[in-house]
């Protein structure tokens, strides 16, 4: 296959499908970033449940502040809304 023909084929594919790939990538990127949020939220839950193990590098006596119910509610809400947003972004990718 000639190099010029191969380049023309690539340009043709990009001109036909480029906008769909770009739009799909724009919706997929936030979904991928939200996927990486879950491990940090799990770590926050561990720190909430057992504060002595949740704060690395501190003594157990220093990390004995009692977690409030608001902090637990915020972690739960963050889990919920991150998964909802991730589902919405992923759904939009499939519609493109």
pLDDT tens-digit readout, 7-60: 788 888 889 998 988 888 899 999 999 999 999 999 998 888 887 765 555 555
Which tokens in the block code for residue 35? 């996927």
Residue 76 pLDDT > 90, yes or no?
yes
Where are the chain's structural domains?
27-95
Tens digits of per-residue pLDDT, 51-71?
776 555 555 555 555 567 888
| pLDDT for the residue numbered 58 | 53
| pLDDT for the residue numbered 70 | 86
Reported residue count of the chain is 96
C-alpha span between 30 and 28 (Å, rounded): 6
């Amino acid at each position: 296959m000639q190099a010029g023909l191969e380049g023309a084929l690539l340009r043709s594919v990009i001109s036909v499908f480029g906008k769909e790939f770009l739009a799909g990538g724009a919706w997929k990127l936030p979904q991928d970033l939200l996927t990486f949020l879950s491990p940090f939220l799990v770590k926050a839950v561990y720190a909430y449940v057992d504060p002595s193990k949740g704060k690395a590098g501190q003594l157990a006596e220093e990390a004995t502040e009692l977690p409030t119910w608001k902090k637990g509610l915020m972690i739960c809400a963050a889990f919920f809304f991150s998964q909802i947003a991730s589902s919405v972004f992923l759904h939009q990718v499939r519609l493109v």
